[in-house]
Chains A and B, each alone.
Chain A
C-alpha cells in the first residue's frame, strides 16, 4: 500500500527509517571523529512520528536557542533534511576545531558559522549516503543553510513543509557522545510523499 499522507506511516515504515537512521548515525560518527580528531559515538537513534505542534518542545522548549542546519534533497529523492543541535554542541565544535572558547551566540564570527555549516554538511552527507546506499537511489544535496534562533522558530521551517502533508513529522533523536558528554542533536527528515514511497518501494515494501 502506498503512503497517501504522513498520518498513514506505520511501524514497519518507522522500522525501515530507524535502520536508515542507524546507518546514517554510524557514518556521521565516523566523519565527525575524523574532523574533530577524537572519538565520537552516536547514541542509537530514536525514530518517531511526532505531532508537528510538539516538535518545538524537543530541545527544552520553543524559546531555547538552537542551531538549525537545513539541506534540500534533490535527484531521485526530493524533500528536506534539517539538523537541530543544542548550542552547547555548536560551542564544543568551535572550541575543538578553531581552538577558541566561545560561550554565547554573540561571540560567534563568520569563521565559526562556517565551521558549523561544515559539520552540517558532513552530517547531511552521512545520512544521504546511508539512505542512498540502502535504497540504491540517487540523492543530491545543496549547500546547507544555517540559522541560530529560538527552537520553535527554526523547527517551524520543516513543520511548514510537513504542514501541507499532514500533522505529523518524522523525527529522529540522535545524541552525540563524546567522552562523558552527551550532546543533543535532532534530525527532521522530510521526504515528499512520492519520495517516501520511493524509499519503501526501493526496499521492497509497498506497491
Chain B
C-alpha cells in the first residue's frame, strides 16, 4: 500500500483511491485537515500551519493556511472524482506545546477554530476531532475506510 507523505504547509490525496494512505508527521500546533468521500474512496489531507491567509497578505502559499488549504484540497479531490456533498472531515493537531505562551498566542486553538469555520462554510461535517492538549501527533488517514490513526510519543496511539 502506498503512503503519501504530507509535509508542513502541504496537501495531497491518497493514491490509489481505496488503497493508499496519506500521512503527516509530528503535528504540533498545526492541524491535519482530513477529508473523505466514502463513495469514491478518495482521502485527502492538508497540513496547515496558520489560521487565515488574510493575516499574511503577501504570502501566496495557499497550502499554509486553514482557509485557503481546505478550499484547495476540496478542489483537488473534486478533480479526481470526489463530491463535496459526500465529504466528511476528521481533524487532528492544534496542540499547545509550551505552556508559557499566553492564551492569546495559542496558535493551536486558533488553527482549530479557523479549520472548523472554513469546514462549516464549505458545508463539510466534522465527524471526528482530536485537537488541543500539549503533545505532538503523527496522523495517517486511510482511503480504504476513512480511518484516521493518531500516534503520539507520550500518550499512546488511537483511531478516529
Contacts and interface: CB of A to CB of B under 8 A. Distances in A.
Interface of A: 5, 52-53, 56, 61-63, 65, 68, 70, 72, 105, 142-157, 159-160, 163-164, 167
Contact of B27 (A70, A151, A153): A153
B136 interface: yes
A164 B50 contact: yes
A23 to B, nearest CB: 26
Given A154-B97, A160-B107, A147 B134 contact: yes
B137 A153 contact: yes
B143 interface: no
A62 B55 CA distance: 27
**On chain B, which size bracket covers the interface?**
20 to 34
**Which of B7, B59, B64, B153 has the most CB atoms of chain A within a 10 A radius of its CB?**
B153
A53 B138 contact: no
Interface of B: 7-10, 25-30, 49-50, 55-56, 58-59, 61, 64, 95, 97-101, 107, 134-138, 153-154
A63 B61 CA distance: 25
Given A152-B136, A153-B137, A164-B56, A105 B154 contact: yes
**Which of A142, A146, A148, A152 has the most CB atoms of chain B within a 10 A radius of its CB?**
A152
B122 to A, nearest CB: 23
B100 A62 contact: no
B45 to A, nearest CB: 15
A41 to B, nearest CB: 29
A157 B25 contact: no
A68 B98 contact: yes
Contacts of A155: 28
Given A53-B8, A56-B8, A152 B26 contact: yes
A62 B25 contact: yes
Contact of A70 (B9, B64, B100): B100
Contacts of A144: 100
Contacts of A143: 100
B154 A151 contact: no
Contacts of B136: 149-150, 152-154
B98 A149 contact: no
